Each structure stands twice: as structure tokens, then as C-alpha cells.
Amino acid sequence: MDCVVLFESKLSVTDAAFGQVVRYLRRLFPTGSASAVLFDLSSFWLITSLKTVILRVEKANWVDGGSKALFESFVSDHTSPWVRRLTTACSALGVDVVEGGAFLGRGAHGRVFKVERKADKKVLALKLVDSRSTTALFREELALTNAELTGLTARLEHGFVDFPGGAALLVTPVGAPLPRPTTLQEVFNLFDLLRQLHEKNIIHGDPRVPNVIVVKDNDKDKLLWIDLVEAVLVTPGFRTTDAAILTRSILRLLHTSLLGEPLESLINEYGQAPTNENMLKVATVSGLLRNKLKTAEAWHIRADNKVRSIDRPVALPAVEESVLAWVLKCEELGVCITGELIRKQASATCDQMNVPVSQRPAFSKGWLYKFQVKHGLTSKLQHGEAASVSPALVAEGRQQMKAATSGYSAANTYNMDETAFFFCLSPHRSITRHRQPGTKKSKKRITVALTTNADGTDVVDPLFIGTAARTSGGGNVVGKGCLAFCVTGNRGQLLESDRHPRH
């Protein structure tokens, strides 16, 4: 996405059109800087953002003095260096970028684009690097030259060309990315492709699954290695390293992950003797481990899962990711949510992403259930209230109260307790991944005070306490001798028995 500059044309620039461009930027560049040009026949807006936050908006009319220079300066300042490198490389190699689907991928050192040679219209892959990685690209040229006669790798079409700011070369053919292996046979095919390369005394250096492409050869699929990084003689150590890299890639493990026994021993045996038999041993164990990991993923990595339903692919993964992020953000902020809110948020997310109604799921209770199971979300009761009174202070207060009342009889020891209706109380149950403490609760309430002595011989009439001295519901009768309870207010009001006599 570092080669994208967003231009949006409208019949008329409006706030609604600006909002649409902002949504585009947030979806395309959620973690980096971005820029866009919103324009119509009479004016243009120059927009810059960083991590979904709009930093600056400049507005101008096309007929204003200096508007052309402002526009050109903005586009130049916000054009990726890769665009300039690509333009320079295409000019030096006599090729044009293929319109539509030109970007083939990116790696540690550069970018790859689909181009067409002007002389014969042949479609090629252009490998482009910046000035810091020219040595790596030169080494790749040597590796491709050494492996050219094997028929197992992409071929060098035009050698290393350097220019200010970077370097490039052309390779052929242009293939499709190899899908992740899902069967033992596909794992065997990958390891056999590596064994054949080693048999030809060639080391790859980075034989991961993404560095294999599929091309057509006599109407049959053929696998080829790309992105060779080593141009050295074969040694047992290099063969072992290649096999370990491919194994981790198939198992989708980090390059620092330990493979453990017996896989490490089998890979070492293959490195010492790259026979077909040793290759099959490594491939078999890797394939079986891959299937085991795949099964664990499908069963949510739970040994006690007894679900027999099919794990179908998600229809709208971007929507689901956004809804999940919203749920986790609510959990982080301590906001209580319900299943109904999640379903409404999913519909609102579809509106924000302009998903056609015909492509939206129903967001039914069944969808909600599977969404919660997939992401480990359950409805949990929040425990306590964050920032409430410490239990240690409560215990200490009880001891102090016992000491204070020890000199009085039970008939002369009174206790008044309050209970209340909190009409602004936030929910205490929420759908989350982890059990969370509650948030501070709203204290808006109507309170009733109940009083009696310790032996129960004197039960005092209830006292209702609101925020007003006279409530709207009983204001006309309070103090007129017709209520069996007292009503008073607690906002700047004293509980005066002569104003509100008890009955």
C-alpha cells in the first residue's frame, strides 16, 4: 500500500464526499500515513492523515492564484519513493507497467511488479530494490544465473541495472502464488522441488512457500522457485538450513521456533544425505504435523471440543475483524455490551464499509453464537466495582463499630440501613473474552432508609430520600398526615421531623 495515492473525483465536493474519502483512508491505511485528493470541476481538497486521524485539509479553487503549484507540490511530497524508482526502472529497461494487477508482491528487500516489454509485448516480472539493497539484488542475479539450466527456478531475462536511488532486474515467467499446502502430496511436492534443487548443487537460501510460483507448462501446473538469495556451493549445513526453513514455512512457524525431535534429526539426516528416502521422511513428518495443527485450528485448539459442525469460511472477514476490534475495545474501556448491541454494530459496520445489502448476512442469533464461540467471547458477570472500598477497611470498621456499641443494651442500639433504586445504573453483565471488574456506577437513585433496634422491639417507619425536598409524585400530600412513611430530600435539605412528621 506504500505506492498508493488516493484520488477521488466528484460532481461536487461536499462534506459527505469528504466523509467517504476519510473512510477510504482509514480502511486502506489504518496504521500509517496517507494522503488523498478530493476534487471536482471547480475546486480540490488536499487531505493528509496519520493512523486514521485527519491531520490537515487544504482547500483551493482551480482558478485561484498558486493553486497549480499547491497541487503539484502536494502530489510530489506525498508520492512514495517506490513510484519514482518504478518509473526510473521502467524507462531504463524499456518496459511499461501492466494496467490492473501490476503489483505482484513485496519482500524484505524490494517490490515486484508485472510489466510488459515495449519491443515484443512480453510480460515479465520486474524486481525493484532501494539503494540499501542493491547488493542483495546483485547476489540474486548470480543465484538465478547459476540455477538457470536446472529448470527449477525463474529465469533471468535482463541483468542487474542500477540507477540513483535503487536497482532492478527482469525475470520470467510470471506465475501465480502457490497456495498453502493442505495435503501430504502437496507437502511431498514442495520438498521434492527443494531436493531437486540441491541435487543440482544449488542452495536457495529462503525456500519458503511464498517463494514458489505456479506456471503452466504444456497445460500442466509446474512449480518454480523465485527469490533465490544464495549463490554459494552446496554444503550439508546449507541443505539443512534450507530444509528447516521450508519445514517452518509449511508449519507456519516463526523462524526462531524450535522444531523438536524427531524432526530436527530427520532434517539433519537429509542435510548429510539428500536422498529421496530422507526427503520423504522429513516431508511425511512435516505433513502429519501440519494436518495436526490444521485440525487443532479447526477445533479451536480445544481437546474437549465435541462440535461436529463444519468450519465454513467467513463471508465478510473485514466486517468481522472490525466488529471484534470494537468488542475488545469495549472490554478494554469497561463498557458493558450485549449480543443485540454486537448485532447492531455489525450492521452499522456494513453501512460504514458500503457493503451491498444483498451480500450481508442476516446477523441472526445463530451468527452471534458462532461469532462468540470463534473468538472466545462469553457473557460474564462483572465482579465488584473498580475503585470501591477496600475489604480490609471494611473489616477494620466492623471492629470499631463493635467497640463503640459495647456499652449499650440491645434495645438502645439502633441500626439504620439504606436500600435504593438506581434508575441510571449501568449493566453489570457484558460479553467479553476475560472476566472484567465493574466500572464506577452512577449514584442517581431514590433511597429508602430502614431503621430498627437490635432486639427488634422498635421498628421505625421507612424514610424515602430523593434529590428534592418535595417529590413531584407526592408533593401535594407530604406533611398532610395521610402517608405511612416520611419523604424528604438529601440535596441541601435537613431531615426535620417538624416539617415531615412521622405516622
CB-CB contact of 7 with 36 (8 Å): yes
How far, in Å, CA of 156 to CA of 141, rounded?
7
Q: Is the preceding omega at residue 173 within 30 degrees of 0, hence cis?
A: yes
> 247: closest CA among 185, 314, 180, 191?
191
The span from the CA of 304 to the CA of 373, in Å, is: 14
**Cβ atoms < 10 Å from Cβ of 242:** 26
R_g of the chain computed on alpha carbons: 36
The three cell numbers of residue 102 are: 501490476
Q: Where are the beta strands (DSSP E) in 285-432?
A: 378-381, 414-421, 429-432
3-state secondary structure of 280: helix
Q: What is the pLDDT of residue 308?
A: 47
Q: Which amino acid is at 403?
A: A
Spatial separation of the C-alpha atoms in residues 51 and 25, rounded to whole Å: 9
Q: Going residue by residue through the chain, which has 503 residues, state the pLDDT in tens, using 9 for 90 and above.
A: 555 678 889 998 988 889 888 888 888 778 778 889 999 999 999 999 887 788 889 999 999 999 999 998 888 888 778 888 899 999 999 999 888 778 888 766 788 999 999 999 999 999 999 988 898 888 889 888 888 888 999 999 998 899 988 999 999 999 888 888 888 888 899 999 999 999 888 888 889 999 999 998 888 889 999 988 876 678 889 999 999 999 988 888 877 777 777 888 899 999 999 888 888 888 888 877 776 655 544 444 444 444 445 556 677 888 888 898 888 888 777 778 888 999 999 999 998 888 888 888 888 988 888 888 887 788 766 555 544 566 778 888 888 888 888 888 888 888 888 887 777 766 655 565 555 555 556 667 778 888 999 888 999 888 887 665 555 554 444 444 444 455 555 554 444 444 444 44
Could you tell me the domains of the chain?
Answer: 6-79 (3.30.720), 83-172 (3.30.200.20), 179-298 (1.10.510)
CA-based angle 308:314:316, to the nearest 5? 160
Q: What is the 3-state secondary structure (H, E, C) of 440-491?
A: CCCCCCEEEEEEEECCCCCEEEEEEEECCCCCCCCCCCCCCCCCCCEEEECC
- How many residues does the structure list for the chain? 503
Q: Which residues pair with 117 in a beta bridge?
A: 95
Compute the distance between CA of residue 166 and CA of residue 84 in angstroms, rounded to an integer.
10
d(CA 433, CA 99): 45
What phi, psi does 63 have (nearest 5°)?
Answer: -85, -5
Shortest CA distance to 152 belongs to which of 116, 193, 205? Answer: 193
- Name the CA dihedral angle for 207, 210, 211, 217, rounded to a multiple of 10 degrees: 120
Residue that the C-alpha cell 542475479 belongs to: 141
Is residue 205 within 8 A of residue 147, CB to CB? The reply is no
Q: Which three cell numbers stand for residue 85?
A: 524508482
Ranges of beta strands (E only) in 16-137 are: 33-39, 43-50, 53-61, 95-97, 103-106, 110-117, 123-130
What is the C-alpha to C-alpha distance for residues 204 and 194, in angstroms, rounded to an integer? 8
* Residue 416 vs residues 16, 419, 448, 454, 461: alpha-carbon distances, Å: 59, 10, 10, 11, 11
Q: Would you list the DSSP string of 205-234?
A: S---GGGEEEEEETTEEEEEE------S--
